[in-house]
Homo-oligomer: A and B are copies of this chain.
Amino acid sequence: MKIQRLLIGYLWIEFVVFQTGFTQSFYKDSIMIRSIYDVALTQGTCYHHLYRLCKEAPARLSGSANAQKAVEITYEMLKAFKPDTVWLQPVMVPHWIRGDKAICYNVKNKKEKYNLIALGGSVGTPAGGINAEVIEVNGLEELEKLGEEKLRGKIVFYNRPMDRRIIDTFHSYGGCADQRVWGADEASKYGAVAVLVRSLTLAADDHPHTGVMLYNGENKIPGAAISTKDANHLSAQLKKGSVVLHLEMNCKNLPDVKSYNVIAELKGSEFPNEILLVGGHLDSWDNSEGAHDDGAGCVQSIEVISLFRQLNYQPKRTIRCVLFMNEENGSKGAREYADEALRKKENHLVAIESDRGGFTPRGFTVEGDDGKKEACMDALREWKHLFAPYLVHIFEYGGSGVDVSKLKGQGVALLGFIPDSQRYFDFHHASTDNFENVNKRELELGSATIASLIYLFDQYGMHHKEKELQLPD
């Protein structure tokens, strides 16, 4: 065993070199990864790209004019890096519009107003609105107990808060999202006329957070979110006595619209048929600039192409950047992408999704088909020490992302990029998810982290073992 010092970029790093320890490839990979971070932090383009996407194409909900603008802008961004191919993959997407009415007040006291936002996909109220008594529940499972007798004609108010104690806020979100997604559908079975949902955020704030809702049944009733502060207020009012609310929204579903996934590719020199996918989703909700969700993931995916171009890196495998359309309310882009991959018998080795915000990078989760996810985890464990200098430390099994998960069954290792989750739900689906709430360095570090992992997969595929070449003394 001996100590070796190595200048990586401008930093002296000390290595303990064991007989069977770090090898030449470790040095090479360390230096390449250091270069990736250096370029990302000093000449990165992702922050500027995010600015453009947020300011020129905010509120890019599927089917909207701004979604089309986002397609054009990102196509142009990718084209500028002269990848081997850039193309648009057509896909039909839902076209839901919010309308201009979102009114909610206490019928007995019209000054008591609630700041309402329709859930994505909701039907509107009948013209003139609904007046109905509110009944508060703590989750879907309470409906059966209350039964039709108590629920018919009522507005069901789902008020289960996200659990503050859970460290990973996505897990807290997972414990409540069913209220928003299926709340209206379930309540309609018991004759409810509308639902209100407590916003899915850990913050005590004044602005409602929207998100998708789905209908299975034929009896479609409207669903809307109110802010956590309003939810607390409404709950307090209900403790004093019955509350009748007036609810009025004119959102509606229009016919599907043609839209696109935006795709760019650096062709592999040795194994062009092995595809390494990195992606985010191009659409956003219509009440913000969609900066964290998922402008960040888009510009980070574009940045992988940019960084490799800036570093004159010629990949061995094919690196594909995919900006999926319609993650928020339908996943039509991801389905179309996966279907075409299957038809064309494409061989995706890995697919990494960035859709958890532009925060300080912490690691990756892995899922996927049997054999693939384990092979991928073996590789990650082998490479973990390469990420330690960048404080990236989480490599664990877990959900990847809504878009790449559509590739399940095609023998792909699916990875989710994991940034720090503490602030994500402050902005998630709210009017505050804007460019100004993204930190430049945090975003850039995320890009570099994703690009570094793509680099390692490019070098070694799933054959992660570093070559056992010993350095000369």
Contacts and interface: CB of A to CB of B under 8 A. Distances in A.
Interface of A: 9-11, 37-38, 41-42, 163-167, 169, 202-203, 360, 362, 389-391, 393-394, 420, 422-423, 426, 439-442, 445
A391 B363 CA distance: 11
B38 A360 contact: no
A165 B40 CA distance: 9
B167 A391 contact: yes
A167 B441 CA distance: 9
Contact of A37 (B37, B163, B165, B389): B165
A394 B392 CA distance: 11
A230 to B, nearest CB: 19
Contact of A445 (B38, B391, B422): B422
A269 to B, nearest CB: 29
B420 A360 contact: yes
Nearest to A441: B422
Given A169-B441, A203-B440, 14 more contacts: A10-B163, A10-B165, A11-B166, A37-B165, A37-B167, A42-B164, A167-B390, A360-B420, A393-B393, A422-B439, A422-B441, A423-B439, A423-B441, A423-B442
Contacts of A420: 360, 420
Contacts of A11: 166
Contacts of A165: 9-10, 37-38, 41-42
A42 to B, nearest CB: 5
Nearest to A393: B393
A390 B167 CA distance: 6
A438 to B, nearest CB: 11
Contacts of A203: 440
Q: Which 3 A-B pairs have the closest CB atoms?
A: A41-B164, A422-B441, A393-B393
A7 B362 CA distance: 26
A423 B359 CA distance: 10
Nearest to A10: B165
Contacts of A10: 163, 165
Contacts of A166: 11
Nearest to A445: B422
A116 to B, nearest CB: 25
A9 B165 CA distance: 9
Nearest to A37: B165
Contact of A202 (B163, B393, B441): B441
Q: By CB atoms of chain B within 10 A, which of A9, A10, A164 has the most?
A: A164
Nearest to A362: B391
Contacts of A391: 167, 362, 394
A4 to B, nearest CB: 20
A44 to B, nearest CB: 9
A422 B442 contact: yes
B441 A389 contact: no
A430 to B, nearest CB: 15
A202 B165 CA distance: 33
Nearest to A38: B165
A465 B183 CA distance: 51
A393 B391 CA distance: 9
12 contacts: A11-B166, A38-B165, A42-B165, A164-B441, A167-B390, A169-B441, A202-B441, A203-B440, A360-B422, A391-B394, A422-B445, A423-B442
